[in-house]
Amino acid sequence: MTNPDQTPNSSADDKQDTSIGGASPPTPPTAAELEEFRQRIDALDRRLIETLCERAKIVVEVGKHKQATGTPIYAPHREKQVLERVLEANPGPLSSRTVEAIYRELMSGSFQLELPLRVGFLGPAGSFSHVAAVRQFGSSVEHDDLHEIDHVFEEVAAGRCHYGLVPYENSIGGGITDTLDAFQQHEVIAYAEALIEVSHTLLANVPANAIERIYSKPQVFSQCRRWLSAHYPNVEQIHTASSASAVQRAAGEAGAAAIGSELAGEIYGVKPLFQSIQDKANNITRFLVIGREQAEPSGDDKTSIMFVTAHKPGALVDVLGVFRDAGINLSHIEKRPSGRMNWEYTFFIDCEGHRSEQMMIDAIEEARAHCVSLKVLGSYPRAQRVL
């Protein structure tokens, strides 16, 4: 019997809508429409270049003023204002992360016009510290590949680098001891902070099933243990001094792979095979930008302090109690041997607020009474987004 809802020559299968959600698939643009879209994009690109060049001319004038008055070229509080303004004005469809990346690169080009900046990082090229430096400062500044964290501090303290970027704390591994120790040895100022997502990639110039050995740092292997045991349980793991040097070795060896950054793969010509192979997705490293000047208040700041407590019972509790009673939140605490005598420790704390605020000034002065020494490492805008 014929269904009254069907024509005599059709069937239910013929009438079934196979598109998702029952809607008809979108009609692709014709060749003529596509060409019109491209012409509109070309016109917008010309307007963008004109606007960027007009902006750059103003940047040059700002740079002249800064150099004449001794004003720092890189101002974290101003950077924060610019990024917050453009992100708030972004209507989409570009993501906030994309817009921020564009503007960070634009500001990097501005630094080059005002005064070429030299930024030191823990090398070699392609390390995650290099990734952090590029994401924070863009690719237009001069990135200086240094071999140790202590060398970054030395170059900044001596004025041979304008700024340095050093790892301070990892969300999985905790405080970075080399950085904490270097703060005790060098006269530098904590000037800004950056949160960088650490994403491990398996890179090789051989097929995945032809890998015979994998190079990387011991810490990287430990962060990818489950993935490696599931996919390469019998492949030899060889430790290297850095993940970047691991990628460099894999570039020239048959049967070799490395775990490192995609930036290292681009630098040394090694192809990414598998991305984000770390066992924990939210592996974030907090970096500090170190310099020789103080950052101005931004309205949402942190202050890092280093101190050695007096040799009396409860001295640490007394110091921390000062900040508690002042209503100042502490977001981080670490300790390291002071290096001056056995069983004496230097403590590092991060407080919410700027060193110029009266509440912070009073708390710091009161805390000094319970310390052998106390030094404010710097105040800087709080990083609000992961780069």
Sign of the torsion formed by the C-alpha atoms of 176, 179, 182 and 188: negative
pLDDT confidence of 341, banded at 50, 70, 90?
confident
Give the count of beta carbons closer than 10 Å to the beta carbon of residue 193.
23
| Cα–Cα distance, 375 to 189 (Å, whole number) | 10
pLDDT score of 220: 92
| Cα–Cα distance, 307 to 363 (Å, whole number) | 13
pLDDT score of 15: 42
pTM, rounded to two decimals: 0.82
pLDDT digits (tens, 9 = 90+) for 87-143: 999 999 999 999 999 999 999 888 888 878 999 999 899 999 999 999 999 999 999
DSSP label of 369: T
Q: Is the pLDDT assigned to residue 10 strictly greater than 60?
A: no
**Of 17-26, 161-170, 305-314, the least confident:** 17-26
Sign of the torsion formed by the C-alpha atoms of 324, 327, 331 and 335: negative
pLDDT digits (tens, 9 = 90+) for 37-48: 999 999 999 999
Q: Is the pLDDT assigned to residue 14 strictly greater than 80?
A: no
pLDDT score of 23: 64
Q: Are 236 and 212 in contact (CB under 8 A)?
A: yes
Question: Which helix (H) or strand (E) element contains residue 291?
Answer: strand 284-291
Q: Which domains can be identified in the chain, with CATH numbers? A: 201-274 (3.40.190.10), 295-381 (3.30.70.260)
In the block, which residue shows the tokens 């491209």? 38
pLDDT digits (tens, 9 = 90+) for 357-378: 999 999 999 999 999 999 999 9
pLDDT digits (tens, 9 = 90+) for 275-306: 999 998 888 999 999 999 999 999 999 999 99
